[in-house]
Amino acid sequence: MSSTVLVGTQWGDEGKGKICDLIAGDFDCVVRYQGGNNAGHTIVVGDKKYGLHQVPSGIMYPQCISVIGNGCVVNPAVLLEEIDMFEADGISTANLKVSGNAHVIMPYHIDLDGAYEELLGSHNIGTTKRGIGPCYQDKMARIGIRMQDLLDEGVFRDKMARALDRVNPQLELIFHRPTYTVDQICETYLPMAERLRPYITETGLLLGELVDAGERILFEGAQATLLDIDHGTYPYVTSSNCTAGGAVTGSGIGMKNVDRVLGIMKAYITRVGSGPMPTELAYETPEGRTLTEQGYEYGVTTGRRRRCGWFDGVIARYAARVNGLTDIALTKLDVLSEFDTIKLCVAYECNGVRYTTVPEHESAFAAAVPVYEEMPGWRGVDISGCRSFDELPEAAQNYVHRIEELAGTKVSFVSVGPGRDQTIECGWEH
């Protein structure tokens, strides 16, 4: 086995950080290939908890090279904060590499993200307001600023001047917001560029060399399948390709180098931000707690309460198809221990039509009414100490097997708590 893509299969926050950190030690390199500091990946090591936004979750392993690939967008201030946090904790960032082709999030991207959301009013996307959409917008319009541009003051000033000619009138005349000068931006960005200079490199070339040397690469997806700009629930999505295909375009290595696609799947569903979510519920557990509280479902990046719902098998099957999943890591199974019975969505009824895959048409998906199956739960049994599949109560085993059936993919990990050790391995090849 050589390289693996790890990808979110729902609307994000499935526990990608935990599983990435768990398996990263088997790899020589971990690569983030899309997204920016809209991501919030939690890693729990002993009694320490880290919320990572930009830096790959392989950073905890000193021998592992951590790459922020060309498909990412980078907020230099957030990246430096993370670097400082790790260094202060004695975790070396010497092996961190940032692509010169990754795009830079500028202050006006953040302003415009907020302004566009305000303009959309009740139709807003519920973005993280980190400037992600406007930064990718500039990339696609071929007027973006890249990490390599930060390294040459003349080039940076020239590109900034041209960008501001376009951005300032928008900020001033349309949104009545403060404008920027080149000097003002250079004052904050150039010192950050100097600090980041040692990290910026040609990561595509580096990854190619690693592949040629037979090294193993782990691609760490951010966001998730249903937030993908092409395959997600458009327009309520993020602005990058979070699905497995993004791993090759967002890093610069060929498809033949990827062996496995590990889908991270939560045992129920959560979503932050706007947009349809067929199985959403405001469910009270018998103890009177919501699933949000039970699973501690609050955003790592924005602190927003995550919307929660029953597991959606239609989405699981869809994610298996668009990512080409070979394995599943089923996370947060312990959170379902408070229910007498557990519901799984196996199909949708959309305007009188039955769907067993996510309908392409936006209005059909918005109208989707879940068709549920109900399974007995394992209420009252604390499964967070289980370390082998056989130790799980039979009802929990049956639930896992039903998910495998619905997704048509084998479950290779069951996660029963946030810690590294709170994991059951069931067939993952190291």
**Could you list the residues that contact ligand IMO (CB under 6 A)?**
8, 11-13, 38-41, 125-128, 130, 132-133, 222-224, 227, 236, 238-239, 272-273
Give the interface with ligand GDP as residue ranges (CB under 6 A): 8, 12-18, 40-42, 44, 300, 331-332, 334-335, 415-418
- Measured from the CB atom, the residue of 112 and 132 that comes closer to ligand IMO is 132
Q: Does the footprint of Mg ion cover residue 220 (CB under 5 A)?
A: no
Cα gap 411→259, rounded to integer Å: 17
Is 41 a residue of the active site? Answer: yes
Written as one letter, the residue type at 202 is E
Residue 332 beta carbon to ligand GDP: minimum distance, rounded to whole angstroms: 4
Task: State how far Cα 17 lies from the chain centre.
Answer: 9
- Measured from the CB atom, the residue of 239 and 301 that comes closer to ligand GDP is 301
Residue 133 binding target from ligand GDP, Mg ion, ligand IMO, none, CB below 5 to 8 Å by type: ligand IMO
Which distant-in-sequence residues (6+ apart) come within 8 Å of 94 by Cβ?
none
Q: Does the footprint of Mg ion cover residue 327 (CB under 5 A)?
A: no
278 neighbors 348 (Cβ within 8 angstroms): yes
Helices (H), ranges, 174-233: 182-196, 203-212
Name the pairing type of β-strands 258-266 and 29-32: unpaired
Cα gap 188→104, rounded to integer Å: 13
Residue 48 beta carbon to Mg ion: minimum distance, rounded to whole angstroms: 18
- Measured from the CB atom, the residue of 53 and 146 that comes closer to Mg ion is 53
Residue 384 beta carbon to ligand GDP: minimum distance, rounded to whole angstroms: 7
Q: No. of H helices and E strands in the chain? A: 12, 20
Written as one letter, the residue type at 337 is S
Which distant-in-sequence residues (6+ apart) come within 8 Å of 316 by Cβ?
9, 265, 403, 406, 407
3-state helix, strand, coil in the chain (%, to 5): 40, 25, 40
Please state, as a whole number, how many other Cβ atoms lie within 10 Å of the Cβ of residue 85: 15
Residue 332 binding target from ligand GDP, Mg ion, ligand IMO, none, CB below 5 to 8 Å by type: ligand GDP
Could you tell me which stretch among 137-145, 154-162, 180-188, 300-308 binds Mg ion (CB under 5 A)?
A: 300-308
- Measured from the CB atom, the residue of 100 and 299 that comes closer to ligand IMO is 299
**Among 411, 424, 425, 419, CA closest to 9:** 411
- Which residue among 21, 26, 28, 41 is the active-site one? 41
Residue 44 beta carbon to Mg ion: minimum distance, rounded to whole angstroms: 13
Is 109 a residue of the active site? Answer: no
Q: Does the footprint of Mg ion cover residue 58 (CB under 5 A)?
A: no
Looking at the DSSP bridge assignments, the partners of residue 51 are 42
Question: DSSP string of 270-304?
Answer: EE-SSS--TTB--PBPTTS-BHHHHTT-B-TTT-P
| Radius of gyration of the chain, Cα coordinates, nearest whole angstrom | 22
Residue 412 binding target from ligand IMO, ligand GDP, Mg ion, none, CB below 5 to 8 Å by type: none
Q: Does the footprint of Mg ion cover residue 40 (CB under 5 A)?
A: yes
- Measured from the CB atom, the residue of 53 and 231 that comes closer to Mg ion is 53
Give me the 6-35 binding string for Mg ion, x by CB under 5 A, dash otherwise: -------x----------------------
Residue 309 binding target from Mg ion, ligand GDP, ligand IMO, none, CB below 5 to 8 Å by type: none
Q: Does the footprint of Mg ion cover residue 273 (CB under 5 A)?
A: no
Longest dimension (CA), the chain: 66
Residue 99 beta carbon to ligand IMO: minimum distance, rounded to whole angstroms: 18
Residue 223 binding target from ligand IMO, ligand GDP, Mg ion, none, CB below 5 to 8 Å by type: ligand IMO
Nearest 10 degrees: Cα torsion 225, 350, 295, 83: 20
- Measured from the CB atom, the residue of 12 and 418 that comes closer to ligand IMO is 12
Could you tell me which stretch among 5-13, 199-207, 232-240, 311-319 binds Mg ion (CB under 5 A)?
A: 5-13
Please state, as a whole number, how many other Cβ atoms lie within 10 Å of the Cβ of residue 292: 16
- Measured from the CB atom, the residue of 17 and 359 that comes closer to Mg ion is 17
Please count the CA atoms within 13 angstroms of the CA of 263 that sit on its side-chain side: 32
Contact set with Mg ion (CB under 5 A) = 13, 40, 300
Catalytic residues: 13, 41
